[in-house]
Amino acid sequence: MLIIGELINSTRKQIRKAVEEKDAAFIQDLARRQAAAGANWVDVNAGAFASDEVEKLRWMIATVREASDAPLSIDSPRPAAIEAGLELAGADAFLNSITAENDRYRTLVPLLLKYKARVVALSLDDTGMTEDMDKVYAVADGLIKRLEDDGVPPDHIFVDPLIRPVSTSGEYGIGALRIVERITTHHAAVHKICGLSNISYGLPKRKLVNQVFVAMAIAMGLDSAIIDPLDPRMMASILAAEALAGKDQFCMSYITAEREGKLEGMA
């Protein structure tokens, strides 16, 4: 499982405050702890700072870099911030995210190629969100083909089925799971990722819902996720699900985690 640690995100109050106060120690501690907990990439998002996002993002990246060598995921709605971020991020960065919206796609693909970045490919086009899950799959399918045609290696493409709250429609859970499964079937070389915390929006005990959803998605072929790696039960659920999905030979990663005390208190 490839993991993007999601915690350094300015839309979270604590992070916004730390960035405004230039509290480098707070940000650096989060970067270190996420990497130590198993994050393969550390996400950095300054999107809450509309007018000076680029400046804030540069400070955040430089701050994280002083503390950790973990590769970064540059997370922004604004192409200018993504460009500035990728320039600073160094090797093996993630572009989070591209969509099939024409303007966004055309602006970001050259950056993707220039920096040889991996990319979260969100299933969304210019017609906007839809309830029709077949349409969501078709958009993902088209986006994969377009990225491949433009020279992005399949194993750099991480398709996200655009997770929406299951509290608003019962179809959003199973529908997203089926999209993950269809991509596994039809595009074996690309990765599947979920920015999954949206799934539980509006429900009580959101962590439980997120943990259960990630296990279900792993059954369908999910092989990466944007999560809170400091949630021990989330990490334990992923380890157990990977063993059950036949992706952990002799359950060695699961058993090792238990020996290291990482499954403490898990009943």
Binding site for a second copy (CB under 8 A): 166-167, 170-171, 173-175, 177, 199, 203-209, 211-213, 215-220, 231, 233, 236-237, 240-241, 243-251, 254-255, 258, 263, 266-267
Q: Which is nearer to a second copy, 146 or 262 (CB)?
A: 262
| Min CB(194)–a second copy separation in Å | 12
Q: Which is nearer to a second copy, 112 or 166 (CB)?
A: 166
CA distances from 221 to 182, 193, 224 (A): 9, 10, 9
How far apart CA 124 and CA 105 sit, in angstroms, is 11
Q: Where are the alpha helices (DSSP H) in 21-166?
A: 24-36, 53-67, 79-89, 102-114, 133-149
How far apart CA 12 and CA 48 sit, in angstroms, is 9
Give the position of tokens 């991996």: 118
| Min CB(230)–a second copy separation in Å | 12
Q: Which is nearer to a second copy, 186 or 206 (CB)?
A: 206
| Min CB(106)–a second copy separation in Å | 35
Q: Which is nearer to a second copy, 158 or 213 (CB)?
A: 213
| Min CB(187)–a second copy separation in Å | 19
